[in-house]
């Protein structure tokens, strides 16, 4: 039996001719260059090509993924003095009898192989099967006789004798992803100085390494679904391929189209560039933050394109063995960052914070550290919505707030052009001022109140700076969210003015101005926020509702306009109702989002109860 015979038999029993072409495409083998027109001939030519080009291990691995129930063993290496017995017989009739298969050549040499022996067909008038001599005319008629017996016997002998086994149809997986967080890892091409991309074996290996690294980092995260073209057909029916384009913008558009086609929330791609004995992987990322199936957004609009999540990864050449042995930990840190982003998206902010803290020392570039600082501060702010969790992690809620503020200030210092850092800093300052200004025992003449008003003024400056650093047409949702935050800062400033009216009657006019600005900003934010972004919509409804609540109470108590005040309170009630409606979840798509549950319990529901009570007075 030849070295390649078992693989050949498995190939022709498993794949059709068309499916064999798909298999060749996955392995970057030119199917059209293989010899033969029939399945057995093409399969044999494929094996010979794979053996000559050191692709047998990849071929066996792919076949094992496609048909895991078959035995796909690599053949033993050919010894230097071993004759080449793997040549495909010229001509002949292919015969299969039970477990026996082979080619019968009239006047030539052939083998019929099974587990018990072999058949030699010589140039004489007989063939020998073991000790049995068979006339030459019988060898000629043998295939036809076998076929006739099968036709006459029908299914009665199907279990005893068959010309060939039916070819199983490979199971083809879904063409769209269906996880809570879907990640697609594209093939990595080699790219020259002019930006021309070429798919190579080294690029494929690096792409599969990225995929394996990410899958290892996310192995305990059941909400994530990760696709790469190395997966078997049974797991995915979509082809990812290379993200094409000579510029980052072109590649980002290509990644966006892929994300829409297969339902990915995150696409990881990039370029492999070689120079001497060193290669560099330049990873790129596309974050589909408004994906309909995700039904929530992340503040990740600025984390797309080249090198946003770390500098290029150096890889020693030649590529052999475990690629990761010669590579810094930067790629692993990005995989961990992606896992943290996943936890953030589904509201598990304690786990996200843990991941972001793990990689804090791995990134040295200022722009990268600024992004990471923003997310560290962001998780601390979200954890503040649940005082017990914040206390468990930071010791006190005050410590959590200061941790957030410190990280946001670091982000603005590391990258003064990053709008996310200024947005986060504004929110931390507002959160520090809010409990002082809304306290029942506030001393408007004391230093704490003055410090709180100063924090509010700085928050307004930070939010305004964030808005000047973004392109609203390119990042409308982010602009809408920052406008909502700025509106809330003006609303709280107006509230602070109201409680100073007794000492400063002119403060009433200042309050009205702040409330009017807040309403203008929040109303302009609604058209910018994606209708599927439950978190941001809930916040916008809450901010508008609480602004109208403050205005209504002021109208009733200070101006004595009960009807006008109640009209504003009714509008506030409608907004708080709309805030709660963001938590309607008939498809259970938001069931994991702890952030939304906390927001409902600490903002929308209490505010609705308060305004309902105020309408009774």
Mean pLDDT score, 525-544: 87
pLDDT in tens, 472-497: 887 788 899 999 999 999 999 999 99
pLDDT of amino acid 466: 95
Mean pLDDT score, 569-585: 86
Q: Given the DSSP bridges, would you call strands 181-185 and 224-227 parallel, antiparallel or unpaired?
A: parallel
Which residue shows structure tokens 């931390």?
428
Q: 76-90, 120-134, 314-328, 505-519 — which is least confidently predicted?
A: 120-134
259 and 312 Cβ atoms separated by less than 8 Å: no
- DSSP secondary structure letter of residue 266: E
| Mean pLDDT over each residue of the chain, to the nearest integer | 76
Q: 101-105, 448-452, 497-501 — which is least confidently predicted?
A: 101-105
Give the count of beta carbons closer than 10 Å to the beta carbon of residue 548: 26
pLDDT of amino acid 31: 78
pLDDT in tens, 326-384: 444 455 676 677 777 767 766 778 888 998 999 888 877 787 788 889 999 999 998 99
Q: Given the DSSP bridges, would you call strands 126-129 and 197-198 parallel, antiparallel or unpaired?
A: unpaired
Q: Given the DSSP bridges, would you call strands 224-227 and 132-135 parallel, antiparallel or unpaired?
A: unpaired
571 and 548 Cβ atoms separated by less than 8 Å: yes
CA distance 419 to 321: 43
Higher pLDDT, 591 or 543: 543
113 and 100 Cβ atoms separated by less than 8 Å: yes
pLDDT of amino acid 221: 65
Mean pLDDT score, 151-176: 54
**Across-strand partners of 281?**
272, 313
CA distance 31 to 28: 9
576 and 608 Cβ atoms separated by less than 8 Å: yes
Mean pLDDT score, 296-311: 44
Describe the strand order of the beta sheet including 126-129 as a list of residue ranges: 119-121, 126-129, 132-135
- Asked if residue 155 has pLDDT above 50, the reply is no
- Three-state secondary-structure class, residue 552: helix
**Across-strand partners of 315?**
279
- Asked if residue 215 has pLDDT above 90, the reply is no
**Residues of 426-455 as b/e, b for ≥16 C-beta within 10 angstroms?**
bbbbbbbbbebbeeeebebeeeebeebbeb
Mean pLDDT score, 29-55: 84
- Three-state secondary-structure class, residue 275: strand
**Across-strand partners of 187?**
242
CA distance 86 to 288: 51
Nearest Cα neighbor of 172 from 236, 261, 240, 231 is 236
pLDDT in tens, 589-614: 443 455 666 677 888 889 999 999 99
Q: What sign has the CA pseudo-torsion 149, 155, 156, 157?
A: positive
CA distance 214 to 225: 11
Domain ranges of the chain: 1-88, 90-170, 181-346, 431-616
Split at pLDDT 50, 70, 90, the class of 196 is: confident
Q: 343-352, 455-464, 523-532 — which is least confidently predicted?
A: 343-352
pLDDT in tens, 398-431: 999 999 999 999 999 999 998 989 999 999 999 9
Distance of CA 107 to the CA centre of its chain: 61
Mean pLDDT score, 135-160: 36
Number of H helices, E strands in the chain: 20, 14
Q: At what angle do helices 397-414 and 419-437 cross, to 10 degrees?
A: 150
| pTM summary value | 0.59
């Amino acid at each position: 039996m030849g070295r390649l015979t078992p693989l050949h038999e498995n190939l022709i029993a498993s794949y059709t001719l068309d499916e064999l072409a798909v298999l060749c495409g996955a392995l970057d083998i030119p199917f059209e260059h293989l010899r033969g027109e029939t399945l057995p001939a093409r399969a044999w030519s494929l094996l010979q090509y794979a053996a000559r080009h050191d692709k047998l291990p990849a071929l066996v691995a792919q076949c094992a993924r496609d048909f895991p129930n078959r035995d796909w063993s690599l053949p033993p290496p050919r010894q230097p003095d071993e004759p080449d017995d793997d040549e495909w017989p010229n001509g002949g009739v292919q015969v299969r009898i039970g477990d026996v298969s082979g080619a019968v050549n009239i006047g030539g040499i052939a083998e019929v192989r099974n587990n018990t022996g072999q058949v030699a067909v010589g140039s004489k008038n007989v063939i020998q099967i073991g000790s049995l001599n068979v006339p030459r005319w019988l060898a000629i008629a043998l295939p036809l006789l076998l076929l006739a017996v099968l036709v006459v016997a029908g299914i009665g002998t199907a279990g005893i004798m068959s010309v060939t086994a039916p070819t199983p149809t490979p199971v083809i997986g879904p063409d769209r992803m269906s996880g809570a967080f879907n990640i697609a890892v594209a093939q990595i091409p080699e790219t020259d100085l002019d930006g021309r991309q070429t798919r190579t074996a080294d690029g494929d290996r690096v792409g599969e390494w990225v995929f394996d690294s990410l899958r290892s980092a996310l192995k305990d995260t059941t909400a994530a679904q990760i696709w790469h073209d190395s997966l078997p057909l049974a797991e995915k029916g979509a082809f990812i391929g290379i993200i094409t384009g000579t510029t980052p913008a072109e590649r980002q558009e290509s990644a966006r189209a892929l994300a829409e086609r297969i339902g990915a929330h995150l696409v990881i791609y990039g370029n492999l560039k070689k120079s001497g004995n060193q290669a560099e992987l330049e990873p790129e990322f596309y974050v589909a933050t408004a994906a309909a199936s995700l039904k929530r957004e992340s503040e990740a609009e600025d984390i797309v394109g080249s090198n946003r999540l770390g500098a290029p990864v150096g890889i020693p050449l030649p590529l052999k063995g475990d690629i990761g042995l010669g590579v810094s930990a930067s790629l692993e840190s990005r995989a961990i960052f992606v896992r943290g982003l996943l936890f953030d998206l589904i509201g598990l902010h304690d786990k996200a914070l843990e991941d972001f803290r793990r990689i804090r020392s791995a990134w040295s570039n200022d722009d990268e550290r600024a992004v990471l600082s923003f997310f560290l501060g962001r998780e601390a702010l979200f954890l503040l919505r649940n005082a017990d969790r914040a206390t468990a992690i930071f010791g006190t809620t005050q410590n959590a707030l200061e941790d957030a503020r410190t990280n946001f200030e670091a982000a603005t210092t590391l990258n003064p052009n990053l709008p996310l850092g200024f947005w986060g800093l504004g929110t931390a300052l507002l959160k520090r001022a809010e409990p002082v200004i809304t306290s029942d025992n506030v001393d408007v003449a004391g230093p704490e109140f003055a410090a709180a008003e100063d924090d509010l003024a700085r928050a307004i400056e930070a939010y305004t700076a964030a808005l000047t650093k973004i392109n609203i047409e390119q990042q409308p949702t982010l602009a809408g969210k920052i406008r909502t935050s700025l509106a809330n800062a003006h609303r709280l400033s107006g509230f602070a003015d109201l409680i100073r009216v007794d000492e400063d009657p002119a403060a009433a006019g200042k309050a009205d101005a702040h409330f009017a600005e807040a309403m203008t900003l929040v109303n302009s934010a609604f058209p910018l926020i994606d209708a599927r972004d439950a978190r941001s919509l809930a916040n916008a409804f809450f901010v508008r509702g609480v602004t109208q609540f403050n205005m209504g109470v002021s109208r009733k108590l200070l101006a004595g306009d009960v009807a006008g005040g109640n009209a504003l309170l009714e509008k506030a009630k409608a907004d708080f109702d709309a805030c709660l409606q963001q938590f309607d979840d008939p498809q259970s798509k938001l069931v994991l989002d702890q952030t939304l549950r906390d927001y409902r319990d600490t903002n929308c529901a209490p505010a609705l109860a308060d305004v309902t009570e105020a309408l009774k007075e």
